[in-house]
Chains A and B, each alone.
Chain A
Amino acid sequence: MALDAQTRAEFIAAVRRFVEERLRPLEAQVADEDAVPEEVVADMKALGLYGLSIPEEYGGLGLSMEDECLVAMELGRCSPAFRSCFGTNVGIGSQGLVMFGTPEQKAHYLPGIASGEIVTSFALTEPEAGSDSGSVRTQAIWNGEHYVLKGSKRYITNANKASLFTVMARTNPDVKGGGGVSAFLVPRSSPGLSVGKPEKKMGQQGAHICDVHFDDVRVGPELRLGAEGEGFKVAMQVLDRGRLHIASVCVGVAQRLIEEIIAYAGARKQFGQPLANFQMVQAQMADCKTEAYAARCMALDAARRRDAGDNVVLECSASKLYASEMVGRVADRAVQIFGGAGYVADYGIERFYRDVRIFRIYEGASEIQRLIIAREMMKQGV
Chain B
Amino acid sequence: MKVLVPVKRVLDYNLKVRVKPDQSGVDLSNLKMSMNPFCEIAVEEAVRLKEKGAATEIVAVSIGPDQAQETIRTALAMGADRGILVKADAEMEPLAVAKILEAVVAEEAPGLVILGKQAIDDDSNQTGQMLAALLDWPQATFASQITLDGGKATVVREVDGGLQTVAVELPAVVTTDLRLNEPRYASLPNIMKAKKKPIDLKTPADYGVDAAPRLQVVKVTEPPKRQGGAKVKTVDELVDKLKNEAGVL
Q: List the interface of chain A (C-beta within 8 A of B).
A: 3-4, 6-7, 10-11, 14-15, 17-18, 22, 43, 46-49, 51-52, 61
Given contacts A6-B73, A14-B188, 11 further A-B contacts (CB under 8 A): A3-B192, A4-B195, A7-B192, A11-B188, A11-B191, A14-B186, A14-B187, A15-B188, A48-B188, A49-B188, A61-B189
| Known interface pairs A4-B195, A7-B195; A47-B73 also in contact (CB < 8 Å) | no
B186-206: CB near A (< 8 Å → 1, else 0) gives: 111101100100000000000
- A49 CA to B187 CA in the complex, in Å? 9
For the complex, count residues of B whose C-beta is within 8 A of A: 12
- A22 CA to B191 CA in the complex, in Å? 19
Residue of B73, B74, B77, B187 contacting most chain A CB atoms (<10 Å): B187
Q: List 14 A-B contacts (CB under 8 A).
A: A4-B195, A6-B70, A7-B192, A7-B195, A10-B73, A10-B74, A14-B77, A14-B185, A14-B186, A14-B188, A15-B188, A48-B188, A51-B189, A61-B192
- Assess the A17–B74 pair: CB atoms within 8 A: no
- A39 CA to B191 CA in the complex, in Å? 22
Residue of B77, B188, B195 contacting most chain A CB atoms (<10 Å): B188
- Assess the B74–A47 pair: CB atoms within 8 A: no
Give the residues in chain B near A49, CB-CB below 8 Å.
188
Taking CB as reference atom, which chain B residue is nearest A10?
A: B191
- Assess the A7–B185 pair: CB atoms within 8 A: no
Tell me the interface secondary structure of chain A in the complex.
Answer: helix
B167-187: CB near A (< 8 Å → 1, else 0) gives: 000000000000000000111
Chain A nearest CB: distance from B151 CB in Å?
34
- A47 CA to B192 CA in the complex, in Å? 12
Chain A nearest CB: distance from B76 CB in Å?
10
CB under 8 Å from chain A, chain B span 37-79: 70, 73-74, 77
- A15 CA to B188 CA in the complex, in Å? 8
- Assess the B187–A48 pair: CB atoms within 8 A: yes
Partner of A47, one of B70, B188, B195: B188
Partner of B191, one of A14, A51, A52: A14
Give the residues in chain B near A15, CB-CB below 8 Å.
188
Taking CB as reference atom, which chain A residue is nearest B74?
A: A10
Give the residues in chain A near B77, CB-CB below 8 Å.
10, 14
Taking CB as reference atom, which chain B residue is nearest A43?
A: B185
- A14 CA to B74 CA in the complex, in Å? 10
- A52 CA to B186 CA in the complex, in Å? 15
- A348 CA to B191 CA in the complex, in Å? 33
Give the residues in chain B near A52, CB-CB below 8 Å.
188
